[in-house]
Structure 1
């Protein structure tokens, strides 16, 4: 087991938050990672029977069934999905700098395709997959680009320039295919920077231009897990891409001042109040019933080893 990443304590989970009961048996891939482990913990707190799958483990898992396997392995995936009602697919290489282009793109897209095909053929009706703010391509683009407009929404024009962004855009297309072919509901969540408040406050990314391109967006780990469980129960059909963000930016300056200084020529589709976020989360609110609760100005939550 590699270095332990402490998990969130869900001792005070709001059992009345969700609009419908969770699927009773859920597979979570990438369950050894930060968001994946948090999702397993929250599902366990809600009483779901969880199967946790990961190729490595950085914390103990409360899941009823723990499988060490690669999400690209067809046989292992079918075995893990047997007897489940829904799948949360979070396994991925989470950045372009973490793998060579061919290896990274293949692993990310193969795993998503494998999970969705196996789930569809086994008759599962709901899948939630991890996409990324990078899916529109601008944040990691090597050219001098800024988003076409603010706030960034799910329909913003793509400018794909790196393998990781392309893999996430491809995953969103795989979600559309699976929803059409098997009649599944597939929700692709576009996660921004996701971490604990103290780590977000300390954010000093050397690529300042990338911070601008992402609208200085972030999401608390607690809200990331909550968004996943909302996506598991939302009354939806078909495939949906949904952007996520905290309600504010991680910068201290008012949002309008940030745009005036760093992106004065970018179209603003509306006015921004105070430190208001530059990600449009209308779909998260209207389709999932999800509203973020936490900001980076708070103390860190209780953690467990």
Structure 2
């Protein structure tokens, strides 16, 4: 049952209108706040709320609820769909797959029926299936790109790949232009540094190597979503969006030699250069990441060299 109410902290009442689903999640809250600050009139939808949210309208309910979503998209210009079970361990395989794919289909179908022209949806770097695969698999090549061969073994990764196919159908059926963003690990800078410090076990390092030790600062996550809303584009597109470097404070070439010596490389990698190709995000969206988990350490190193 829908429960809609104005937020006491609602932002400007001018500008375009956007529905953000999954608005109580990490990326959802940051996106809602950022778009509100940029003048968007945000409707925020979530099953539950841990705290007040910056939005003009707050809607409590399930993104797979057709009636609820139909009402939520009736007066918006765009949709940012982030609602999902974000990990295969947070439900049974059936629960994860059906929840994620039903929510994406419902949001895109209702948006299409309502004539909404633009949608941005959260896919995942896992959509090609290898990072969470239970078998001893490796990427076909580095850098990873949107055309990396698919090999699914878990419900979450499969659900994200299916979401991308749903986006293509939505464009064909209703003419909605859809951008599916393949996000890696997304956190704020402090949480990323803590995670990198803990990722020292061999098994974890090898698993992270399947996704190129990729990550993204939350500040860059919201700007790529904003670019997806505002950049002129036609069709249904998939883009990878990661930081420009690897998460670990280790040279990329060393990581490859130790953890992925059998994976072909299509280029040489210097320093901590990232193992995910960002060409499509740059060309399609004019977007590049600005933040690095290593920025503070690199700044301290440069300062020490200058005073030495």
Structure 1 match to 2:269: 272
Structure 2 residue 239 is matched with structure 1 residue 260: no
For 1:127, the equivalent position in structure 2 comes to: 119
Deviation of the 1:281 alpha carbon: 0.7
Q: Which residue of 2 aligns with 1:211?
A: 208
Higher gyration radius (CA): 2
- Cα distance in 1 for partners of 2:205, 2:269 equals 21
The match for 2:8 is none
Asked if structure 2 preserves the Cα contact closer than 8 Å seen for 1:154 and 1:241, the reply is: yes
- Shift in Å, 1:208: 2.7
Q: Does the CA-based 8 Å contact 2:205-2:259 persist in structure 1?
A: no
For 1:80 and 1:153, locate their aligned partners in 2 and report how far apart those are by CA, in whole Å: 34
Which position in structure 1 is the counterpart of 2:284?
Answer: 287
How far apart are 1:235 and its partner, in Å? Answer: 1.2
Give the aligned partner of residue 109 of structure 2. 117
Q: Which runs of 5+ in 1 are unaligned?
A: 1-21, 300-305
Matched with 1:149 is 141
Deviations 1:284-305 (A, max 9, x none): 1110111111111246xxxxxx
Match of 1:178 in 2: 170
- How far did 1:244 drift? 0.8
- Which residue is 1:11 aligned to? none
Determine if the alignment matches structure 1 residue 230 to structure 2 residue 222: no
Mapped contact 1:190–1:244 kept (Cα < 8 A) = yes
Equivalence map 1:1-305=2 (5 Å): 24-203=16-195, 204-205=198-199, 207-298=204-295
1:160-188 CA-to-partner distances (Å, cap 9, x unmatched) read 00000000000000000001111111000
Rounded Cα–Cα distance in structure 2 between residues aligned with 1:45 and 1:82: 23
SS of the equivalent of 1:268 reads coil
TM-score, normalised by the number of residues in structure 2: 0.88
Structure with greater proportional helix content: 2
C-alpha separation between the residues in 2 aligned to 1:63 and 1:200? 27
Could you say what secondary structure the match of 2:244 adopts? coil
Q: After the TM superposition, which segments of 4 or more aligned residues of structure 1 sit over 2 Å from their partners? A: 204-209
Whether contact under 8 Å (2:220, 2:291) holds in the other structure is: yes
Unaligned 5+ residue runs, structure 2? 1-13, 297-308
Q: Distance in 2 between matches of 1:262 and 1:225?
A: 31
In structure 2, distance between residues paired with 1:202 and 1:267 = 30
Distance in 1 of aligned mates of 2:233 and 2:15? 14
- How many residues are treated as equivalent by the alignment? 278
Alignment-derived partner of residue 9 in structure 2: none
- Cross-structure match for 1:8: none
Q: Taking structure 1 as the reference length, what is the TM-score of the superposition?
A: 0.89
Aligned Cα RMSD in Å? 1.3
> Hey, what's the Cα distance between the residues in 1 that align with 2:186 and 2:281?
16
